[in-house]
Amino acid sequence: MALSTLIQQMVNGVTLGGMYALIALGYTLVYGIMLMINFAHSEMFMAGAYVGLFTLTGLTNPKLVGSGAVAFLTKNGIGLVLLFTIVFLVAGIAVGLLGVVIERTAYRPLRNAPRLAPLISAIGVSIFLQNAVLLWVDSKALPFPQVFPVIDLKIYGNASISTLQIFILVSVVLILIVLDTFVGKTRIGKAMRATSQDRDAAGLMGVNINTVIALAFFIGPALGAVAGIFNGMYYGTVNWNMGFLPGIKSFTAAVIGGIGNLRGAMLGGFVLGIIESLAAGFLSTGYKDVVAFVILILVLIFRPGGLLGESVVEKV
């Protein structure tokens, strides 16, 4: 019984950790390049869930696309792949562009200001987006269309993994591999790493700093949007304040892994998700948040740079 519970909580934790990792990457991308915490990033997660909800609802509405198209998109394997590809692309591009607009209007004018100024601006953007959805969309939780066929597959004893969890895990791993390859191997990825190491020197070497920063603000929110859709599919609802707690947890994951380190954000997301699920399974659901933040405190005390970060000595 204990072993099956352990396996089940590990499966749940890896699934949850994958979503945390996607959101944490947005925090760490922006911090690595601009040394600022984009606290409005949690609302990119929420916005992505709503865009995905509306796109999926529209594509499965017979009055808009026709009953034949709906049947193909929801009852056929190729149709399902096409359906979710469109949903992820629409949400990712829309929320990515929203992130670029926010950077251009709320953060770029404060780029040379004291660090507290863009932090306050980010909190203001977060509050604005939350209230915009609250007032202009709906104050109640909206059900997320359950189009994906969910089948539970037995692993051991009472432990099982659903086809939805497999879909989320495979998608998250593929996204993480693609992003890691993009940042590590491509020309623009090298420009992003150069800007992260020394923004002024990168600019002197011909790197367009504004383009690199805008790209970071596009990729991060796009990944958050994908995580928002996964969250809607997994839990079945979306609401206007759904981004707050996952956003804080994902920031915690980024710090645990090493803020500014992409692989650290990935690792931190999975570690936090697994720890949280184990705490919920073996202690109580009421303690899962407590355990997660206790782990954060311990990491900050004993390894401030994070699991994959490095302690940097500031020279005087």
**Residue 316, pLDDT score:** 39
d(CA 134, CA 296): 31
| CA–CA distance, 99 with 132 (Å, rounded to integer) | 16
Retrieve residue 197's tokens.
């190491």
Name every residue whose Cβ is closer than 8 Å to that of residue 229 and which is 6 or more positions away in sequence: 48, 49, 52, 87, 88, 91
Residue ranges per domain, the chain?
Answer: 2-302
Phi, psi of 309 (to 5 degrees): -85, 175
Arch. (CATH architecture) of 2-302 = Orthogonal Bundle (1.10)
Q: What pLDDT, on a 0 to 100 scale, did the predictor assign at position 1?
A: 52
Would you state the structure tokens that stand for residue 265, as one six-digit string?
A: 């954000």
C-alpha neighbours within 13 Å on the C-beta side of residue 74? 17
Tokens of 58: 């529209």
pLDDT in tens, 115-164: 888 889 999 999 999 999 998 888 888 999 888 888 888 888 788 889 99
| Structural element, H or E, at residue 153 | strand 152-156
DSSP 261: -
With a CB cutoff of 8 Å and minimum separation 6, the contacts of 192 are 29, 33, 183, 212, 215, 216
Q: Which residue has the tokens 């709320």?
A: 106
pLDDT digits (tens, 9 = 90+) for 185-207: 888 888 888 888 888 888 888 88
pLDDT on residue 35: 80
Cβ-proximal residues to 212 (8 Å cutoff; 6+ apart), any chain: 33, 188, 191, 192, 195, 202
Q: Are 30 and 214 in contact (CB under 8 A)?
A: no
DSSP letter (8 states) at residue 91: H
Cβ atoms of 103 and 228 within 8 Å: the answer is: no
Residue 184's pLDDT is: 86
The whole-angstrom distance between residue 278's C-alpha and the CA centroid of its chain comes to 21
**Token reading at 87:** 């949903």
What pLDDT is stored for residue 315 in this prediction? 39
Alpha helices by DSSP H, listed for the chain, are: 2-34, 41-59, 62-65, 67-75, 77-102, 116-136, 163-185, 187-197, 199-204, 209-235, 244-257, 262-282, 288-302
Secondary structure class of 5 (helix, strand, coil): helix
pTM for this predicted structure: 0.91
Identify the burial level of 193 via C-beta atoms within 10 angstroms of its C-beta, where 0-12 means exposed, 13-18 middle and 19 or more buried. Answer: middle
d(CA 305, CA 316): 20
CB atoms within 10 A of CB 225: 32
The pLDDT assigned to 310 comes to: 53
What are the per-10-residue average pLDDT scores of the chain (316 residues)? 82 92 90 84 93 92 82 84 92 94 91 85 92 88 88 85 91 90 88 85 86 91 94 92 89 86 88 89 80 84 77 42
